[in-house]
Chains A and B, each alone.
Chain A
Amino acid sequence: MANNKMLIKFFIASESIFFVMLILAYINFHGSNVEGPNAVNSLNPLRTGIFSLFLLASSLSVWLAGRSLVTKNHFMMKIWILVTIILGAVFIYGQASEWLGLIAQNITISRNVFGSTFFTLTGFHGFHVCVGLLMLSILLGLAMFGDFKGPKSDGVECVSIYWHFVDGVWIVVYSVIYLWAFL
């Protein structure tokens, strides 16, 4: 049954194009807002960078969950999935508070093209993180009822692949939005 993993890989290939287009839109308008809010004068790369570390760490924890599945350590697998959910939730908390801070300064999706591209790109990424959290929660719930005894499970492996993808997208998004603003 390699079908499921093949499906999720092609799905991710398709999703990548979706994000490439959002990133291209961001790049296209980079530097077109010299006055008014833009990435340089409105964003805090350090703060978001710290929250990004939580997301990066969650890739490690979901990998450890997969290792525990292979070694049939059911208890540790549940723990690592739980850790992944918590790390992902912290990242989403960071993004939500960042958004609220920007909106409080009247930097919104309709303020200018920076606002449009920034909120759209980070918003679609955040949405994907939330979908990932939902799937991880379903995995955890099923594991509580005794599923995924290992050593193999397409469910765990596919969600894990998806989660790594969401993580990888963020590395690109963070580089393009926050690090580029630094340079």
Chain B
Amino acid sequence: MSTRIPIVPENVKPLPALKENEGMLTWVASIDHKQIGIMYIIVSMIYFLIGGLEALLIRTQLAQPENAFLSPEVFNQMFTMHGTTMIFFVVMPLLIGMGVYLVPLMIGARDMAFPRLNALSFWLVVFGGILLYYSFFTQSGASEVGWFAYAPLSEKPFSLNKGPTYWALGLLATGIGSIASGLNNIVTILTLRTAGMTMRRLPLFVWMILVTSFLIIFVFPIIASAFSMMLLDRLLGATFFTPAHGGSAILWQHFFWGFGHPEVYILVLPAFGIISEVIPVFSRKPIYGYEFIAGSTVAIGLLSLGVWAHHMFAVGLGNVANVYFALASMLIAIPTGIKILNWIATMWGGKIWFATPMLFATAFIIEFVIGGLTGVAIASVPIDWVVTDSYFIVAHFHYVLFGGSIFAIFAGVYYWFPKFSGRMLSETIGKWHFWLTVVGFNMTFFIQHFLGVMGMPRRVYTYHDFPYWGSMNMISTIGAFVLAISVIIFMWNVRYSLKHGKKAPDNPWNAWTLEWATTSPPAVHNFDLVPPVRGRRPLWDLAHPDNPDEPNAKIV
């Protein structure tokens, strides 16, 4: 399969490994974008295990009606920390980490525009997470108020423990780190592109990171100010969100979702980027409708800023507001649908090769469409009123965040692991991992749609023995454990393949973007020579000089 393109000569010297330089110190002091990217991924994986453990505890408690495995307080801490961890310390840093690793390589740059700022972003995420988890060691444990910390429950008279304070401080630190990485990505992408890499030739993953970065720098300040007000309420007795003292609890909801809804696009746009890279390579066709994918992403980014109150239909904002937010939310289905159609059109008639990355990418399309369809359904006010705060919502957002983001991340990890490590992940173990993930994921979450419609509320630590509730919850719990086994298999695959995996050539998938032009893993300086960019697929043009993508492109 490996038709290598000899652009970058084989390194004469072995690549600088960690132990040869400063040993463990490089893990602390490094400002190399590749090492920081790897560190992001490692830290996220640790948090993935912690968040997954919390999920298993939640599902174990819910496996049977009237279960007493966890106390209500501990259960509340578990779902709060599970949601917070998975969003802010797993999906976000995983995607940012992959971005930090890949963006400079994909645009043919030496490093990020601000390598030290890059390291600062990473360490803020790490210490933000430690601050968050430190709350478990305080007197009454972690935050119990859910990942959106609605006031006045999160305020002083109702939450006297220190949990929400640590929660807000940890997320504030992490958020500042995210803003810094967003700024860094924007400047890097706008200024450090190699000659010929115009915005219209930018790999779509880089496009998605760019739009995501703009979203990050414009919406994280919203939550930073809201966290500041919440902390002032809790620590200095300010009254922003306490209705009893003249504040407004609804204001918190507006601020939180003003950030929170764009946040879900921050979590999924880079995943779209991964899919837009994987699908063409494994269909052996250029991406269909490049401009439409990039353009629809910009549309999603803009629309996402104006739809936050669809999380607040139950508040009673009035018909005009509800109708506006319902219609605006449904509009987002159009640019998202454009993407889905483009991916399918890319696969259509292609020579599809179902290696593990492609399996995950194909499954992503299916699972994400399910999550998208339920999303359009609950954007409709009457439907939302029926199913809001039920397990239907839990099922919906797991289909977009796990079925969407995490499936895409797995596709990306299998796709780029050879570049990251110089070894191939085992395809056999990968297929086991894939099928167990699909089975476990759908088993866990599909049935929750029905539980939700039957009226099971989310965030209850136990439930009565209503007909079928016990057995349906048991199915969901078994699914969660299947999912846990799949994650263990994945971790084992990484561990095994790092040591014994097949040595990866520079371009194992015969892909076309610049990161595959350098060695696997890349040298510290990334490229000896950056190949010329005369189209969207520089390595294709290089291998097929007689049949380039843009025959009339000027040579720069």
Which of A's residues lie within 8 Å of B, judged by CB?
A: 2-3, 6-7, 10-11, 13-18, 21-22, 25, 28-29, 32-33, 109-110, 112-113, 115-117, 119-120, 124
Contacts and interface: CB of A to CB of B under 8 A. Distances in A.
Given A21-B222, A32-B246, A113 B239 contact: yes
Nearest to B233: A116
B190 interface: yes
Interface string B194-230: 0000000000000000000000011111101110110
Given A17-B218, A110-B238, 12 more contacts: A2-B191, A6-B187, A7-B113, A7-B183, A10-B183, A14-B217, A28-B251, A33-B246, A110-B236, A113-B240, A119-B238, A120-B232
B212 to A, nearest CB: 14
A14 B240 contact: no
A10 B225 contact: no
Contacts of A13: 217-218
B236 A109 contact: yes
The 6 lowest CB-CB distance pairs between A and B, nearest first, are: A110-B237, A18-B221, A21-B225, A116-B238, A17-B221, A14-B217
B554 interface: no
A110 B196 CA distance: 58
Interface of B: 113-114, 179, 182-184, 186-187, 190-191, 217-222, 224-226, 228-229, 232-233, 236-240, 245-248, 251, 255
Contacts of A17: 218-219, 221-222
Contact of A21 (B182, B186, B191, B226): B226
12 contacts: A3-B187, A7-B113, A10-B186, A14-B221, A17-B222, A25-B225, A113-B239, A113-B247, A116-B232, A116-B239, A116-B240, A120-B229
Contacts of A29: 246-248
A158 B392 CA distance: 50
Give chain B's interface secondary structure class: helix
A3 B191 contact: yes
A6 B186 CA distance: 9
B530 to A, nearest CB: 19
B219 to A, nearest CB: 8
A28 B228 CA distance: 17
Chain A binding surface SS class: helix
Contacts of A15: 221
Contact of B245 (A3, A112, A124): A112
Given A13-B217, A21-B221, A32-B246, A109 B237 contact: yes
Contacts of A16: 221
A156 to B, nearest CB: 19
Contact of B238 (A14, A22, A109): A109
Contact of B239 (A22, A28, A112): A112
A57 to B, nearest CB: 29
A113 B187 CA distance: 39
Contacts of A22: 225
B179 A124 contact: no
Nearest to A21: B225
B248 A28 contact: yes
B209 to A, nearest CB: 15
B240 A18 contact: no
B416 to A, nearest CB: 27
B400 to A, nearest CB: 25
A11 B183 contact: yes
Contacts of A7: 113-114, 183-184, 187
Contacts of A33: 246
A124 B228 contact: yes
Nearest to A114: B246
Contacts of B219: 17
Contacts of B237: 109-110
Contacts of B186: 10
A29 to B, nearest CB: 7
B252 to A, nearest CB: 10
Contacts of B114: 3, 7
Nearest to B217: A14
A14 B226 CA distance: 15
B237 to A, nearest CB: 3
A109 B113 contact: no
- Pick the most buried of A11, A21, A110, A119: most chain B CB atoms within 10 A of its CB: A21
A113 B245 contact: yes
Given A10-B186, A11-B183, A28-B248, A120 B238 contact: yes
B246 A14 contact: no
A22 B555 CA distance: 51
Contacts of A115: 238-239
A11 B221 CA distance: 10
Q: Taking each of B219, B232, B238, B247, which has the highest tally of chain A beta carbons within 10 Å of its own beta carbon?
A: B238
Contact of B232 (A10, A11, A109, A112): A109
Specify which of A15, A22, A112, A113 lies most central, judged by the most chain B CB atoms within 10 Å of its CB.
Answer: A113
